[in-house]
Structure 1
Amino acid sequence: MTGQNRSSAVMQQRSEPHDSLDDFPTPPWATRALCEFLRQQGFDLSAAVCREPCANRGYMVRPLLEQFGVVLASDIFDYGAGFMVRDYLFGPDADEDEVDWTFINPPFRLAQEFIERALRLSKIGVVVIARSAFSEGQDRAASLFLDRPPSFELQFSERVVMLKGRLVRSGAVDPFADVPGKKASTATSYSAFVWLTRDAAPADTRKRWIAPCRLRLERPGDYPDYPVAVPSDRGLFAEGAA
């Protein structure tokens, strides 16, 4: 039997080259859902300082600015959004780098390094969006989760669509897909891992589910207007805006 194995176990393997920027932008609604959860836990974000060290094109930064008093954004690569270009993992810790909260959708292969640094530099909490499979693995369990378990593991009950190099609304036509008319979707499940660094943090990890909320939390302007892919005899070409 030939053909691609499209089982969920295979399709959830979002594999990137070792030197890849792991450019999978976060839909703004997912960040709003996490901020909403923190407010429900009693946190006042309005006067807090938040850092986003994987700012990409700003899709997570913008909803953070809706909630936090100050958002410090940077990335190791210049995506043209005007953020500071900085390697978050480089150099020693410094007092001036301390913030109240850190929000990250880090490169999967470096997620633990980002978490460890964020825990040292965040006075209240660290929020990390990652594939749900991030909680698996003997090495990560031994070096991170067993020694420093998160306060909450938040499972998104609806799929958070993250596509390489672009942000397309779930269910909308993806103009960059290899098949004309293909709609944006994903086989990858995502969760948020929340570490509270304050003394009141729970002693063990509490599992919670983020109820479906995409339609409620999406806002006008969340998604860029990409060129529309139009089929022709020569393949696909761009015409107009999506």
Structure 2
Amino acid sequence: MTKKETFAGFDGTELALHRMGEGRPIVLLHGLFSSAEMNWIRFGHAKQLAEAGFEVLMPDLRAHGESGKPHDPAAYPPDVLVRDAMALVEHCNLTDFDLAGFSLGARTAVRAVLAGLAPRRLALCGMGLEGLAGWDKRAAFFIDAIDRFDEIKHGDPAFFAVSFMKTMKVDREAARLLLQSVDDTETSELRNVDMRTLIICGDKDRDNGSPDKLADALPDASTAEIPGTHMSSVAESALGDALCNFFLDDAAD
């Protein structure tokens, strides 16, 4: 059973938090234009972790899901999602916890660790080395999709992005502002992400670059391959399996 509550983001914006299970806390950060429900709950990953003995904490990121979607540019400073992650950790009084993120959530998790968040273990899903930098180009693709939202037809490179935005009923003004707030991580910074880390990627997912190169750039990392593309891998039960195996193995250490 999922419990819902709200907490205040860095600036007081009301953000949604979904909780499931009891035990060791694990924070899950979803991907761009998605939500806790779509990324973690719908396909059973959260339930699997909860049944394995974890308390699963799943925020809807700012401008996503059931969270606030302010239209004031001041609500989207650089690394705003990192600031909100810090606010979540403070709200839940977390001192000993694990952290995982998918795609944008993985980028946010890395940035949060570099900003001082200290999970015991870290899982980065749908992420490769190249995906941690070059955000301006990626953001420009999605901003163009927002600008051409009503014109895009099947066959356009942005068609699937727009279709997903429609499915998720994305607030395009808030999304545009958020897209401009994400900061890059340089490869040299990754030496400071020194907790045990697992990179989980679909076998047909290289949207964010090479998971193997990312593992090589981190001090203590390994990879796990699951079926699927960037979009489809999140629906695979293998994602929940990989997360459980990693964090349960850690709990036994």
The reply to whether TM is greater than 0.5 is no
Q: Which has the larger radius of gyration?
A: 1
In which range does the TM-score fall when normalised by the shorter chain?
0.3 to 0.5
Higher helix share: 2
